[in-house]
A and B are shown apart, each in its own frame.
Chain A
Amino acid sequence: MINSKITNKVAISFIRILAGIVVLILAFLVGYILIKGLPYVSWHFLTSPSKSVSAGGGISGQLFNSIYLLVLSLLISLPIALGAAIYLNEYAPKNKFVSTLRNSIEVLSSLPSVVVGLFGFMFFVLKFGFGFSILSGAIALTFFNLPILTSSIENSLAAVPNLQREAGVALGISKWETIIHVIIPAALPSIVTGIVLASGRILGEAAALIFTAGQSSPVLNWTNLNPFSSTSPLNPMRPAETLAVHIWKINSEATIPDAVQISAASSAVLLILVFVFNLIARRLGNVIFKKMTAGGK
């Protein structure tokens, strides 16, 4: 007979080893990228524009584009996803149609991003004539992002116990007020996690953007804040290569002598950008959560 204590010990050690492997791989990956890339990252690198044939270019435009596109696509997709998730979780009747809808959304969230990119290319770039632009890119990212965000917010809302909804209703507060003031604050930390994960995917996304936001970064005049001017960084109709697309491009068609270094440095910056965004979003989420729920006091 096998001693259950020993079985238990073996199982625990096995799980520990598996967890250790995951941590090791991650640490190796992050360490490798940072060690390879960080030596080339400098203030100059971050703040000067990229060059197309000579060495010594930077990534200022790409860095800005990545953040700008992230913010824009979140601005579009977050309200829609929130609304859809609230409807699905709080109001939708439990029938065939709604469950089909829910399943479709889940299927959509595993749609390959290159398909989304091609769709965006055909529809927004060509048919609607938006061209390779921030707008086309933001819409493609929204398509790509919406199902993931909706599903994750819906799950966050579903995790708030029904007791909380009953409590609100029993106090003569309307369902809507209960959702806004009780359910969403309670779900906030988990919603923020969903947004952070989605943002990480957006920042790293290349395939959906190559055909929509384009692969070029025009010369930008940082003091020109008129969004209708072609040299303004805010202009939504200009092409905008992001960091991820930049990394892809210089690796596939290296026309610059320092492609290897720039690619390594860009990867390190992209990684740090994701970390920083992650931290900021969680901090912000925490502050709001504490304000609304008296948590942590």
Chain B
Amino acid sequence: MAKKTNLEIVDQLVAETDYDRYIIQLSKKHERAIETKDLTVTYDGLKYAMNPATIAFEKNKITSLIGGSGSGKSTFLRSLNRMNDDVATVGGQILYQGVDLNAPEIDVFEVRKRIGMVFQRPNPFAKSIYDNITFALTQRGKYSRVELDEIVETSLKNAALWDQVKDSLDKSALQLSGGQQQRLVIARALALKPDILLLDEPASALDPKSTMQIEETLVNLKNNYSIIIVTHNMQQAARISDYTAFFNMGKLIEYDLTRKIFTRPKVKLTDDYVSGNFG
């Protein structure tokens, strides 16, 4: 059993018996992929869509973000790689390798290369499978054909799609099935060699078999990437993630090891949500 001393409670607001919020903090021993300090998001300048959220994500782990519809999961996730730039006002800090990504002078294009994102609906470009993967690379730098071939192969292998498409790389990506498209999109993000992969309900539009394949893919990727995934599927969160964060109405309510969230959550709201007695 993991030693309790590795994890300490930081939230000052907690009541003695029944917690309002419960957020674990990673100790020095845990390497951090990314963390936020009082991250806030507002779409209209008035009301917080995300109330101050302080949370640290461990490196090479999978963290699930769960919570009801409209609880702010996507809002939070999209802030991490500055996808909310033109849409919302984001306050607070996002710390990544000692740098505040939320600072105005940060190069957002670089941020998005380091922190890849996969969306709910597969969104491959109307280009060939090959070009889908190489497009962003060739826009930025010079690569030889050999290098590109190599990147295409490794990315597709990492996304567990290589065997199915290796003979049809010049076919349009739109001809792939939904599950294949989603894995292509993951491969496309991996081709940029990011550290962190953000996924917003990547399997919710897929059938159970494709969902399983995506899950397997993610678990295999864990060795080299830190993954944060929004999901509505409790079983999925329980199956694949090491940590789980629960959001409710724009607030980060509870953050803990996944097994604790699903067996003995400390906040009643979380308990209600994971056990299904919720709205």
What residues make up the interface of A, taking CB atoms closer than 8 Å to B? Answer: 161, 163-164, 166-174, 177, 181-182, 185-186, 292-297
What residue in chain A is nearest B122 (Cβ atoms)?
A: A163
Interface residues of B in 145-200 (CB under 8 A from A): 170-174, 185, 188-189, 192
**Are the C-beta atoms of A294 and B139 separated by less than 8 Å?**
no
> How far apart are B273's CB and chain A's nearest CB, in angstroms?
28
Choice from B113, B121, B174 contacting A172 with Cβ under 8 Å: B113
B110 at the interface (CB under 8 A from A): yes
Are A294 and B128 in contact, CB atoms less than 8 angstroms apart? yes
**Residues of B contacting A173 with CB < 8 Å?**
109, 135-136, 139
Q: How far is B125's CA from A166's CA once the two chains are assembled, in angstroms?
A: 11
Distance of B181 from chain A, by nearest CB (Å): 11
Q: How far is the CA of A294 from the CA of B112 in the complex (A)?
A: 26
Report, as a range, how many residues of chain B touch the other chain. Answer: 20 to 34
Residue of B111, B125, B135, B185 contacting most chain A CB atoms (<10 Å)? B125
Is the CB–CB distance between B123 and A167 below 8 Å?
yes
B130 closest partner in A (C-beta): A294
Partner of A167, one of B113, B124, B172: B124
- B169, chain A: closest CB distance, angstroms: 10
Cross-chain contact A163 with B119 (CB below 8 angstroms): yes
Which chain B residues lie closer than 8 Å to A161 at the CB level?
123
For A186, the chain B residues whose CB sits under 8 A away are 125-126
**Consensus secondary structure, chain A interface:** helix
Q: Taking each of A161, A174, A293, which has the highest tally of chain B beta carbons within 10 Å of its own beta carbon?
A: A293
Contact flag A172-B127 (CB < 8 Å), given A166-B119, A295-B172, A297-B172: no
Report how far A138 CA is from B225 CA in the complex, Å: 59
Q: How far is the CA of A181 from the CA of B125 in the complex (A)?
A: 10
Q: How many angstroms from the CA of A159 to the CA of B8 in the assembled complex?
A: 51
- In whole angstroms, what is the CA distance A186 to B170 when docked? 17
The answer to whether A297 and B127 have CB atoms under 8 Å apart is no
- Contacts from B to A (Cβ < 8 Å): 81, 83, 108-113, 116-117, 119, 121, 123-129, 131, 135-136, 139-140, 170-174, 185, 188-189, 192
B123 touches A177 (CB 8 A): no
Interface pair B185/A297, CB less than 8 Å apart: no
Task: Give the complex CA separation of A105 and B173 in angstroms.
Answer: 36
Query: B83, A181: Cβ atoms under 8 Å?
Result: no
Per the bound structure, the CA–CA distance linking A167 and B116 in Å amounts to 10
Instruction: Determine which of A164, A174, A181 lies in contact with B123 in the assembled complex, contact meaning CB atoms within 8 Å.
Output: A164
**B121, A174: Cβ atoms under 8 Å?**
no
Q: Which residue of A lies closest to B140 (CB)?
A: A172
Contacts A/B (CB < 8 Å), 24 sampled:
A164-B125, A166-B83, A167-B119, A168-B125, A170-B81, A170-B83, A170-B119, A171-B113, A171-B189, A172-B112, A172-B113, A172-B192, A173-B109, A173-B139, A177-B139, A182-B125, A182-B126, A182-B127, A293-B125, A293-B128, A294-B127, A294-B128, A294-B172, A295-B174
Q: CA separation between A138 and B51, bound complex, in Å? A: 59
> How far is B170's CA from A296's CA once the two chains are assembled, in angstroms?
11
Q: Which 9 A-B pairs have the closest CB atoms?
A: A294-B128, A163-B123, A172-B112, A171-B136, A172-B113, A170-B117, A172-B109, A167-B123, A293-B126
Determine the chain B residues whose CB is within 8 A of the CB of A167 once the complex forms.
Answer: 119, 123-125, 185
A161 and B110 CA atoms in complex are apart in Å by 25
Q: How far is the CB of B121 from chain A (nearest CB, A)?
A: 6
- Quick check: B192 and A294 within 8 Å, CB to CB? no
CB < 8 Å neighbour of A163 from B121, B170, B171: B121
| Cα-based distance from A171 to B170 in the complex (angstroms) | 21
What 12 new A-B contacts, CB under 8 Å, besides A170-B112, A172-B108?
A: A167-B119, A169-B83, A170-B119, A171-B135, A172-B136, A173-B109, A182-B126, A182-B135, A294-B170, A294-B172, A295-B172, A296-B172
Which chain B positions have C-beta within 8 A of A163?
119, 121, 123
- Alpha-carbon distance A177/B128, docked complex (angstroms): 18
Q: Known contacts A170-B116, A293-B172, A295-B126: does B121 contact A181 (CB below 8 Å)?
A: no
Residue of A nearest to B138 (CB): A181
**Cβ contact of B171, chosen from A164, A182, A294, cutoff 8 A:** A294
Complex Cα–Cα for A163 and B185 (A): 12
| Alpha-carbon separation in the docked complex, A201 to B172 (Å) | 35
Q: Please measure, in the bound complex, the distance between the C-alpha atom of A119 and the C-alpha atom of B121, giving whole angstroms.
A: 50
Partner of A294, one of B108, B131, B185, B189: B131
